[in-house]
Amino acid sequence: MNILSENTAFGGMQAVFSHDSEACNCEMTFAVFVPPQATERPCPVLWYLSGLTCTHANVMEKGEYRRMAAELGLIIVCPDTSPRGKDVPDSLTNWQLGQGAGFYVDATESPYALNYQMETYITKELPALIAGSFRADMDRQGIFGHSMGGHGAMTFALKYPGRYKSCSAFAPIVSPSTSPWAQGAFEKYLGTDPDVWRKHDACALVAAGARFPEFLIDQGTADGFLEEGLKPWLFEAAVKDTDIALTLRMHERYDHSYYFISTFMDDHLRWHAERV
């Protein structure tokens, strides 16, 4: 790994690294906060997956997680949202496709399949790197995210039973296979078969029998993307009459921004700390 930056914060270390990714066939960047407790013992790992157009830097700079993570003794890992570089396929006219919009899937369609292997990167390659480089207790992992990252966090929790002990989301895309926000990207990455799309859709995974003990979702009612792209009530309906517990909190006047995320970040970190 190459150290791009390293700073002390709340007694811990906030750093940014780059490394050559075999999964994505390019250089990838991620941020990690290591709490002060890691000098004495391995600490649980909490993965934060960012949303469309973001990088690792958005939550690192605006998410306001370090104080509480240091208090609770949580390692916070913030991957990028897609492969990047001049040779990586991109869409210059569509912010919902290409660099910054990997949707946390393994693409099967050309030209994206060569680089856009984000599920493999997040669930296999990067965890191996974290386990070997930091005092991380990989038996105690949680995952959360925002928007597209909320979609990624929820689907990974459902698809990898036993991997994560906790999952939460800020304004997630709960049904990307039916959302205009995601359908275009899914077609370009995964092809035109809706059955393939549903393997990356939290609502469809629950309908197919996937299970996870409980989810926490926070959603702002003033979110301009609520009706078109997010629709948390679809997930509420999906888990009804299952053994999946859902805490869905709707917040008046809050939008889709990091002002919203930072407001409820402490709540989410405490939620995960109680479960990992």
Q: How far is CA 25 from CA 90, 110, 238, in A?
A: 15, 14, 36
Task: Give the active site residue among 90, 201, 218, 223.
Answer: 223
Q: Cα–Cα distance between 208 and 215 in angstroms, integer?
A: 18
Structure tokens at 100: 């910054």
Find out whether 35 and 69 touch, Cβ atoms under 8 Å: yes
* Residue 223 known to be catalytic: yes
| Interior angle at CA 21, CA 16 and CA 22, nearest 5 | 165
User: How many CB atoms are closer than 10 A to CB 95?
Assistant: 12
Find, among 22, 23, 11, 145, the residue nearest to 77 by Cα: 145
Find out whether 1 and 27 touch, Cβ atoms under 8 Å: no
Q: Are strands 12-21 and 26-34 parallel, antiparallel or unpaired?
A: antiparallel
Q: Which is it for the CA torsion 15, 21, 23, 24, positive or negative?
A: positive
> CA torsion 21→77→265→229, rounded to 10°?
20
* Residue 256 known to be catalytic: yes
Task: Give the active site residue among 56, 200, 256, 272.
Answer: 256
Q: Residues with catalytic annotation?
A: 147, 223, 256
